[in-house]
Amino acid sequence: MKEQDLIQPFTPWQDTTRGGNIYGSGSSKYYRTGGWRVDTPQFEAARCVNCMRCFLLCPDGSIALEDGQVTGIHYDYCKGCGICSEVCNAGAIHMMSRQEESAHGSER
């Protein structure tokens, strides 16, 4: 996707696509949506068995991989849906509310 094809914050509605549809790929890297979430996934690497279920099922592609291993969460893009936590049989990902994060001092 070309940078000029992106919808900017003050793009007049007449200049957008019908229905706001995005026809090119790769645009999500330009829109950091992590601030939308209410709950945040917490990743415990020591418990991870690298089954990749979280990676395969994350709708935002927010699971970080390095050399074929899960290494954490891309918090700039994670919307806090909790799917990763629900599918993690090893218990390596659990959800934490903003209130819990503030109390634990792990605000992201």
Q: What pLDDT was estimated at residue 107?
A: 46
39 part of a folded domain:
yes
DSSP 63: E
Query: pLDDT tens, 66-104?
Result: 999 999 999 999 999 999 999 999 999 999 998 887 777
2 part of a folded domain:
no
Contact yes or no for 96/42 (Cβ under 8 A): yes
Whole-number Å distance between alpha carbons of 62 and 83: 11
List of E strands, 1-108: 39-43, 63-66, 69-73, 93-97
42 three-state secondary structure: strand
Count of domains forming the chain: 1
Segments forming the whole domain that contains residue 70: 32-104
Q: Which CATH number characterizes residue 52's domain?
A: 3.30.70.20
Does pTM top 0.75 for this prediction? no
